[in-house]
Structure 1
């Protein structure tokens, strides 16, 4: 049943499959009573063998685990490479204006994760000037068919850079991807011969997507696959394949006392058409019935 996590307010899902389980990492909304604003200090970790029964893992990655950060836990992405797990997060930088992206690493998907490099991977002084102190939000990372890793991120402007094999350093200049209606919440995945870039479209946010044969583009806009979620102005997609089916994770504001600042992660099935395009995702109360 949706939402799939009911004992916390959770947002901005990122998912991976490992050891016959789905691993779900989420933001954690926790504004005090009477406060109607974003208050996010850490990220949570859950796993499931069947998408029905979720185990919460006790380790929490906190924004202040990055000693160079002043706090604020925005959307994130976890990816595995060479039996290590890399957790890319957006936080507020303590000494460089604006938001920044850090990366933590662990030998196990449940953690513990520690700051991989002791500094921001991407800070406000490393990107083209946009006048937007939230430009470094919502990282997503993918390793392409040629074993090259890429990171994509942004708020109002979408950025792309190659990563070195160590997964912690940029390998070349920051580039821009032009996408209609791009707000934030980028998410990359691959299915068959296609790469897909999903993102928040407009405000309140729907989820739109583009397709390309390569991560560097050209990206072709394909339209909206998810409408504005119930009782929530934002949205962020995460897509995986697991046991022969495809799943779309997102958040809404449907838990008791929920809303745009007290969000809840949900999941529904996703379907690809024969030409590779994605059918609109139906947001349901029943959710996933098991894998």
Structure 2
């Protein structure tokens, strides 16, 4: 009996030691956004603080984490919140940070106060810093995108989940949306739009877009399927503005959460797929946790199905 108990204890210790996912365990995190800067991977996330019985989100701020080996993560704290923006109210929804010309631009989605500039509804703002870990401040003193700028959907929360991409020709693009996928060019200063906002046709698109380029092919990865729980699907194009060729589902439903959100990055010779689920103790759809697994491509550039694991990824050299 003692031998059986000892074996069970050792087995549990082994399982815990290899159970990397979720990668952040001391708080609930969501909507991962990775970037690489000077040999370090920085991960920007939302922060879920809703109660166990809550039926809606409570997300007071955004956190930044960093790693140089993909297994040990440093929490730099809550470095931005809707309170940073004088025009904002409500929760800290999905966001993405990107570096350009030595500055870091953190595009965020939250809600706009009812004032002379807006009747409310979801809005996208941008914060700026000289460092990936801040301090960040409101870059323009107003929202970059307001609900009044987009009229294709009747609901007030269609302007969320920004993703930003800078092409090889230095042109920057902002994609976002809930229920429809919208895009607009950004000026080089990253705080002004250039040209009209366009609604683009993307099959099964719901929310959470992630735009990037690989070997001359553009990828638009997003939460889709039109029903909950969400799955991650993607489309490809020969242009950053489409038209988009639907490629299918790459991530099935995640455990214990009806949302999921992609964040994709190449780091030290590997491709990584970040997402969130509700697998931590007391976790759920409003108490989510960020995970990471490997991402692989076929020879023709299509993405292989993401294999969700508890083990996560292996350490890489510093």
Q: Same fold (TM over 0.5)?
A: yes
Question: For 1:127-161, what per-residue CA distance to the aligned partner results, in whole angstroms no more than 9, with x for missing partners?
Answer: 13411101101000000111100000000011010
Q: What residue is the counterpart of 2:312 in the other structure?
A: 287
Q: What residue is the counterpart of 2:34 in the other structure?
A: 15
Residue 290 of structure 1: CA displacement? 1.5
Residue 59 of structure 1: CA displacement? 4.5
Q: What residue is the counterpart of 2:5 in the other structure?
A: none
- Following the alignment from structure 1 to structure 2, what is the Cα–Cα distance between the partners of residues 33 and 16? 31
Question: For 1:222-280, what per-residue CA distance to the aligned partner results, in whole angstroms no more than 9, with x for missing partners?
Answer: 00000110001001101000011100000000000000000000000000111110000
- Following the alignment from structure 2 to structure 1, what is the Cα–Cα distance between the partners of residues 257 and 52? 18
SS in 2 for 1:64: helix
Query: Aligned-residue CA RMSD in angstroms?
Result: 0.9
SS in 2 for 1:241: strand
Among candidates 122, 130, 147, match of residue 153 of structure 2: 130
Residue 137 of structure 2 is aligned to residue 114 of structure 1:
yes
Residue 33 of structure 1: CA displacement? 5.0
What TM-score do you get using the length of structure 1 for normalisation?
A: 0.98
- Following the alignment from structure 1 to structure 2, what is the Cα–Cα distance between the partners of residues 128 and 37? 25
Residue 60 of structure 1: CA displacement? 2.0
Q: What residue is the counterpart of 1:208 in the other structure?
A: 233
Among candidates 192, 212, 229, match of residue 189 of structure 1: 212
Question: Following superposition, which runs of at least 4 residues in structure 1 exceed 3 angstroms of deviation?
Answer: none
Give runs of aligned pairs for residues 254-269 of structure 1, distance below 5 A.
254-269=279-294
- Following the alignment from structure 2 to structure 1, what is the Cα–Cα distance between the partners of residues 223 and 141? 30
Q: What residue is the counterpart of 1:219 in the other structure?
A: 244
- Following the alignment from structure 2 to structure 1, what is the Cα–Cα distance between the partners of residues 245 and 99? 27
Q: What residue is the counterpart of 1:63 in the other structure?
A: 82
My pick for the range that moved more, 208-217 or 113-122, is 208-217
SS in 2 for 1:174: strand
Computing the radius of gyration over CA atoms, which structure comes out larger, 1 or 2?
A: 2
Residue 106 of structure 2 is aligned to residue 73 of structure 1:
no
Larger helix proportion of the pair: 2
Residue 194 of structure 1: CA displacement? 1.1
Q: What residue is the counterpart of 1:176 in the other structure?
A: 199
Q: What residue is the counterpart of 1:39 in the other structure?
A: 58
Q: What residue is the counterpart of 2:107 in the other structure?
A: 88
Could you tell me whether the CA contact under 8 Å between 2:79 and 2:133 is conserved in 1? no
- Following the alignment from structure 2 to structure 1, what is the Cα–Cα distance between the partners of residues 33 and 41? 10
Could you tell me whether the CA contact under 8 Å between 1:139 and 1:154 is conserved in 2? yes
Question: For 1:116-136, what per-residue CA distance to the aligned partner results, in whole angstroms no more than 9, with x for missing partners?
Answer: 000000001111341110110
Q: What residue is the counterpart of 1:142 in the other structure?
A: 165
Q: What residue is the counterpart of 2:126 in the other structure?
A: 103
* Count of equivalent residues: 291
Residue 71 of structure 1: CA displacement? 2.4
